[in-house]
């Protein structure tokens, strides 16, 4: 009987010890406590990095819960992290959730960063979003690729410099460059001599240059006065000039109409131009008048009247003009 009681006591002691050990393990682990009320928050992200189940959840550096489980979405492109948060730790919906790492090689945890705490408090089943955590290995891979691209670029630069030295910085090019520098120096010396000569000419002909400048100034002033006078004349006689221009335009129209009438055979001049016989008679009359005036100039009026011979005329060319019907 005593042996049975002893075994019962030993068994009870072992059971109580195991229970206390389990409580201590839960209490000091990164999971939630069994003696504090909690609520669940669903955290959505594209990648959880090295975050594991039972990882801690810290609010402003203080642990307020733990990661209950991590579930991969059906499409395999996102992850849902279930967080167990203590009820006595108020979290507002404007807080930021970030997956961080403890130290350089430490474990990752969920960090909650409060902002203004003006929104509503998160309740059981609330859903929030989280950015992708910093991945040192991915950064190292990107850095390796970047370093590789830099190395390739450096090799291309080396090849370009070598090609530049072979094509541009060769002996012939350097010799030509030296010749160009020498020619430039000679040209500079000649230019300095020319400037010096010009300075001497200006210095020895200061009076003439001043007189020429004064004459140019006076001539410019005269031109200005002439322009002002011409402008005054135009302003004063603008009406007359406009009338004269109008008369010239009218005369041009009249002459144009007269030319049209001449070509159409209208009027005396048009008839003369269109009738060849009448034009011949008028030409003969003009010749007779020329002979008569010549005789008048040579013998005078009395000499012609007392002369036995009448003055020579081209009577044969004169015909009676009969207008055509």
Q: Are residues 23 and 39 in the same domain?
A: no
| Structural domain contains residue 3 | yes
First-residue to last-residue Cα distance in the chain: 180
Instruction: Give me the pLDDT at residue 266, please.
Output: 67
Q: Are residues 7 and 97 in the same domain?
A: no
- Show the domain range for 64: 33-134
Q: Are residues 97 and 18 in the same domain?
A: no
Q: Are residues 111 and 42 in the same domain?
A: yes
Boundary (domain end) residue, out of 73, 106, 134:
134
Q: Are residues 41 and 20 in the same domain?
A: no
3-state DSSP of 3-35:
HHHHHHHHHHHHHHHHHHHHHHHHHHCCCCCCC
Q: How far apart are CA 62 and CA 90, in angstroms?
A: 12
Q: How far apart are CA 145 and CA 98, in angstroms?
A: 27
Q: Are residues 56 and 92 in the same domain?
A: yes
| Structural domain contains residue 170 | no
Identify the helix (H) or strand (E) that includes residue 208: helix 206-236
Structure tokens at 213: 């400048």
Structure tokens at 30: 């990164």
pLDDT along the chain (325 residues), means of 10: 72 83 64 68 85 86 87 85 88 87 76 85 87 69 77 85 76 82 90 88 82 86 86 83 85 81 67 68 78 71 54 47 46
Instruction: Give me the pLDDT at residue 55, please.
Output: 85
What's the maximum distance between 2 C-alpha atoms anywhere in the chain?
A: 209
DSSP 228-281: HHHHHHHHHTHHHHHHHHHHHHHHHHHHHHHHHHHHHT-HHHHHHHH-HHHHHH
| Structural domain contains residue 53 | yes
Q: Are residues 6 and 59 in the same domain?
A: no
| Structural domain contains residue 110 | yes
| Structural domain contains residue 307 | yes
Q: Are residues 62 and 17 in the same domain?
A: no
Q: Are residues 127 and 61 in the same domain?
A: yes
Boundary (domain end) residue, out of 83, 114, 134:
134
pTM of the model: 0.37
Q: Count other C-beta atoms under 10 Å from residue 133's C-beta.
A: 20
Q: Are residues 87 and 7 in the same domain?
A: no
* Phi, psi (degrees; rounded to nearest 5) at 40: -100, 135
Domain count, the chain: 3
Q: Is 40 helix (H, G, I), strand (E, B) or coil?
A: strand
Q: Are residues 19 and 46 in the same domain?
A: no
Instruction: Give me the pLDDT at residue 82, please.
Output: 92
């Amino acid at each position: 009987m005593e042996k049975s009681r002893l075994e019962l006591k030993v068994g009870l002691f072992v059971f109580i010890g195991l229970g206390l050990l389990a409580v201590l393990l839960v209490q000091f682990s990164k999971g939630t406590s069994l003696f504090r009320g909690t609520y669940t928050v669903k955290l959505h992200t594209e990648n959880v990095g090295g975050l594991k189940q039972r990882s801690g959840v810290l609010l402003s550096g203080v642990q307020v819960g733990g990661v209950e489980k991590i579930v991969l979405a059906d499409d395999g492109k996102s992850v849902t992290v279930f967080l167990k948060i203590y009820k006595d730790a108020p979290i507002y919906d404007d807080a930021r959730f970030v997956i961080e790492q403890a130290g350089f090689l430490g474990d990752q945890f969920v960090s909650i960063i409060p902002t203004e705490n003006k929104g509503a408090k998160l309740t059981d089943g609330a859903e929030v979003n989280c950015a992708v955590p910093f991945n040192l290995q991915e950064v190292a891979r990107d850095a390796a690729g970047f370093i590789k691209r830099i190395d390739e670029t450096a090799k291309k630069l080396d090849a370009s410099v070598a090609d530049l030295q072979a094509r541009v910085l060769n002996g012939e090019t350097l010799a030509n460059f030296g010749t160009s520098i020498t020619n430039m120096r000679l040209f500079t010396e000649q230019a300095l001599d020319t400037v010096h000569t010009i300075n001497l000419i200006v210095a020895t002909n200061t009076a003439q240059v001043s007189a020429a400048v004064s004459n140019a100034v006076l001539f410019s002033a005269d031109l200005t006065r002439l322009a002002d006078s011409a402008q005054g004349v135009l302003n004063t006689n603008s009406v007359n000039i406009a009338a004269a221009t109008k008369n010239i335009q009218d005369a041009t129209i009249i002459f144009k109409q007269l030319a049209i009438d001449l070509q159409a055979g209208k009027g005396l001049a048009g008839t003369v131009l269109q009738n060849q016989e009448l034009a011949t008679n008028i030409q003969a009359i003009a010749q007779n008048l020329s002979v008569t005036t010549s005789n008048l100039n040579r013998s005078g009026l009395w000499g012609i009247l007392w002369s036995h011979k009448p003055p020579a005329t081209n009577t044969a060319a004169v015909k009676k003009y009969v207008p055509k019907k």
